[in-house]
Structure 1
Amino acid sequence: MFSQWTRSLRYRDYAPLPGGHAKSRNGQYSRTALFALGVVVLSFALNLYFVISAWLAWPSPLDNYQTLNQGPLVSRALLSSLPPINSQKNAIVTTLYTNNFAAAVATLGHSLKKSDTTARLILLYLPDKISEEALCIATSSGFVAQPVARIPPPRNGRGVHRHFQDQYTKLTLWTLDQQGIDAVVYLDADTLVKQNLDELFRLPYNFAAVPDIFLDYRGFSLSFNAGVMFVRPSTTVFNTMVDQIGTANYRAEDAEQSFLNHFYGAEAVRLPYMYNGNQALKKRSPKLWAGIAPELRLVHFTMVKPFLGRDYAEVKLKDLDQHSLKQAKNKGGIYKDEVLWWRDMWLETRRSYSQQMAQCQRTEFRRDNLTISA
C-alpha cells in the first residue's frame, strides 16, 4: 500500500493514459445530467411562479367590471348644439364576398334604417362571386351595390385563414374619397345595429376601432377588431397599403385585420366597446356585457352566426326562421338573447321587403334591375 501511495505522488502531475478515459467520460455525463436537471427544475419553478402570480394578481377593470359610472356614453346636448352633418359625405359600408351572407346584409340594412341613420348605405361586392339573386336580396333593404375588384392576399394566400381569403378587398374603403365621401363607418355583414351611431362621423381622427376580446390568456387586448371601423378615406393611403401588404411583417392568418393593426399601430383611436358588441365580450365578462347593454350600438355575431350553418354553410331563406331558433341553443345558449333578436329583425325584414325579395327569386330577374353604383 505504501508503494502505491508513493507511486501516486510521483505521477500526480502526469496526464492520464488512454485507459483512464472511461472514468472521465462518466463524470462528464454526470455533470451534463445535473445541468439538465437544474434547467428542468428552474423552468418548473419559473412557470409555477408566473401561474401563481397570475392567479393572485388583481383582475383587470374589465374582467372585474362594476356598474359605477351611470353617465351617458355621449353628450347629447353637445351633439344637438353642433351644425348638422352633410349626409351625402358620410357612408355606412359593408361587404359581400359570398352568397351566404345575403340575408345578413339585408337584415343589417333594415336595422340601420330603423336607427334613422342619415348616412348613405353602400355595399361593396365581388361581381364574379355573388349571384344576381343574392345581390338582389342583400340590397332589398336599402344598400346601394357597388362592384369592386378583389384584392388578393399576399403570397397567394399562404398562411391566411381560408375564410379570410377575400378580406383584403376591405381596403377598398379607403378609395371612397373618389366619390366625395369624407367619413366611413364600416360594419361587417355579421353585425346588427341597435342604436344610431351617426355621432362617429364627427370624429376628427383618420382611423378608429374597438379593441378586440379573446377568450384565452390574451383577454381584453390592445389590438382592435376590424369588423367595425371608422375611416377617413384616402386613395393615397390606400395605395400605400396595397404596396405594403406583401412586405410588412405581421401574422398572416388574420389577414387584413392583422395588417391594419400594424399599419395603424400607434395612431388608431380605440372606441368604447359599445360600438362593437362582440359576442366574445359576453362570454369573457357577462357583467360588463350587461353593464353596457343600455348604450350598446350594435351586436357583432362573432361566435354564433344565426344565418349560417356549420362551417359557414348556406341556409336557404325559407329555413332561416327555424335555423336561427336552433342556433339560439348553440354553445350552451349563452348567446340566445342576441340570436333571437337577430331572428326577430330578420322576420321583420322579410315582411317589410317581401315584394322586393319575391322579385329576387323570379326566374326573369336580371342584375340590371338593381340599384348599382358604378
Structure 2
Amino acid sequence: MNYLLSRFFNLHRQYVLLGTEDPEKPVPVVPRRRRRQALVLILIPVILLGSIIANIVFAVKLGKQPTRRPLDNYQHINTFPIASPRVATSGQNAIVTTLYNDGYVSAVATLGHSLQKANSTARLIVLYFPSAVSPQSLCLASSSGWHPVPVTRIAPPQDGKGINIHFADQFTKLSLWSLDKIGIESLVYLDADTLVLRNFDELFQLPFAFAAAPDVWGDQRGMTLEFNAGVLFLKPNSDVYNHLLEVLPHTRFPMEFAEQAFLNQYFAGRTLTLPPVYNGNLAMKTRYPVAWEGLKDEMRVYHYTMVKPFLTKSYKGLSMDEVILRAQASEEDYHGAYREEVVMWEKMWEEMWVNNQEMRERCSRV
C-alpha cells in the first residue's frame, strides 16, 4: 500500500504550483495513461479491502441463523376436532398444577392460596410423583386447597438428548389429557411459577379443545406465533392422550423447548389464542412495557418466567422458611425490573404462611 501511495504522489511532483513556474521553461505534462494507471493502483486495494469486509459481515450474519422454532417442520399429526361440543358444569371443571419435587412446594402452596382468594368454582388438582414428593410437602400443598392426584413420569423422547435438565419432567404434562378418567371435562393448567390475580372461570365456557396465550421473549423475537405452555386450557380426552404418547417419539421438534415445542407442533393451527392477560409472562413487561402497563388492570395470571422468587438461580429448591429470604433477594434481580411483581408474590406467600400455620404444624408431624 505504501508503495502504491508513493507512486501516486511522485506523479504529482512533476506539477508546478501556479504563479511559481518559470515562463522560459515549458511545464511538464503527465501523460493521461500514467494518471489512469495510478488511479487503478489506488482503486484495486480499496475494492479488495471492501470485498473482504463485506464477506466477513456476510459470514457473521450467516452464522447467526434464526433459532429453530417448533413450526419450522410442520407435520400433520393431529386429526382431532378443533372445537368440542362438550360444555362442562362447575363440578367438571378443574384448575391443575404439578409438583414434581419438594423444591416447588412453596410455589404450589402460594399458587393455591391465590386461587382461593380469586374464588374460583373449579376443583384444584395437583399432579405429583409419589416417589419424589415427601408426605410433608404433599400435606403442605393440600393445605392450600389442592387435591393430590398421583401420576407416572413421562420421560422425554430420544433419552432426553438436547433437553434442558430443568425441563426433564415436563413431558408428564401430557397426563392432563387423561384426566377425563376422573370426571374432568374442562381444565386450566397453571405452571407452579404462576400467581392468580383475578378469577378466570369464563375460560371454562370455551367450546374449543385447546387454547393458550402467545409466547413472549425479551429479545428481538418479542411475541411469537408459538404459544407458551405455562397456562393452558384444554378438554381432557383419553383418545388424545394415547395419541400424544404414540406420536411423541416420532415427532420432529427442537428438544431444547421440551414439551412446549412438542405441543406447539401437535396443536399447530388448532390452538385458540388467548389474550396475554391469561398468561402474564414477565418477559412482556420489559419487551413491551407500554402494553404491559395497559393490560395490568385486566391481568388474570402472572407467570414468573424471568425470575423465580422461590428458587435459587441454579434452580435449587428451598425449604418453606428459606423462601422469604430468596424472595426478598430476587426483588433486585435484573436490576429490579420485576420488583413489583416479586413483592406481590412475596405478600401472597406471607398470607399463605400465616393463614396455614396450624396446618403447617400438623404437616410437620406427618
Specify the alignment match of 1:41 in structure 2.
Answer: 54
Distance 1:328 1:338 in 2: 9
1:40-119 matches, cutoff 5 A: 41=54, 44=57, 86-119=89-122
Find 2:270's aligned residue among 255, 267, 271: 267
Deviation at 1:266, TM superposition (A): 0.7
- 1:203 is aligned, of 171, 196, 206, to 206
Residues 34-93 of structure 1: CA deviation (Å, up to 9, x unaligned): 999868636747999xxxxxxxxxxxxxxxxxxxxxxxxxxxxxxxxxxx9622110000
The 1-side partners of 2:163 and 2:55 are apart by 37
Q: Which residue does 1:282 correspond to in 2?
A: 285
Write the deviation string for residues 295-336 of structure 1: whole angstroms up to 9, x where unpaired: 000110111111111211122222222321111111101111
For structure 1, the 5+ residue unaligned runs are 1-33, 49-83, 366-374
Paired residues for 1:213-362 under 5 Å = 213-362=216-365
Partner of 1:167: 170
Supply the AA of the counterpart residue of 2:156.
Answer: P
**How far apart in 1 are the matches of 2:209 and 2:50?**
55
Partner of 1:123 in structure 2? 126
Preserved contact between residue 88 and residue 186 of structure 2 (Cα < 8 Å): no
CA distance in 1, matches of 2:311, 2:55: 49
Quote the offset at 1:181 in angstroms.
1.1
8 Å Cα contact 1:161/1:253 also seen in 2: yes
- 1:327-357 per-residue CA deviation (whole Å, 9 max, x = no partner) reads 1111101111111111110110011111111
Q: How many Å separate the matches in 2 of 1:261 and 1:39?
A: 42
TM-score normalised per structure 2: 0.77
State which structure, 1 or 2, has the greater radius of gyration over its C-alpha atoms.
2
- Residue type matched to 1:234 in 2? N
Judge conservation of contact 1:104–1:138 (CA < 8 Å) in 2.
no
Look up the SS of the partner of 2:137 in the other structure: helix
Q: Secondary structure at the match of 2:314?
A: helix
| Distance in structure 2 (CA, Å) of the matches to 1:189 and 1:243 | 27
Shift of 1:253: 1.1
Aligned partner letter, 2:187: V
Tell whether the 8 Å contact from 1:93 to 1:184 is kept in structure 2 after alignment: yes
Corresponding position of 1:70: none
1:159 offset after TM fit, Å? 0.8
Measured after TM superposition, the shift of residue 138 of structure 1 is 1.4
In the alignment, structure 2 segments of 5+ residues that lack a partner are 1-46, 62-86
Give the secondary-structure state (helix, strand or coil) at the position aligned to 2:250: coil
Shift in Å, 1:202: 0.6
Does the 8 Å contact 1:214/1:280 carry over to 2? yes
What SS does the aligned partner of 1:254 have? Answer: helix
Alpha-carbon distance change, 320 to 36 in structure 1, aligned in 2, over 3 angstroms:
same
Preserved contact between residue 88 and residue 185 of structure 2 (Cα < 8 Å): no
- Root-mean-square deviation (CA, aligned residues, Å) is 2.2
The CA deviation at 1:139 is 1.5
1:158 partner letter: K
In 1, Cα distance between equivalents of 2:245 and 2:50 = 51
Asked whether the 8 Å contact 2:90–2:121 carries over to 1, the reply is: yes
Number of aligned positions between the proteins: 296
Q: Give the aligned residue type for 2:95.
A: I
Identity %: 44
CA distance in 2, matches of 1:175, 1:225: 21
Distance 1:294 1:176 in 2: 33
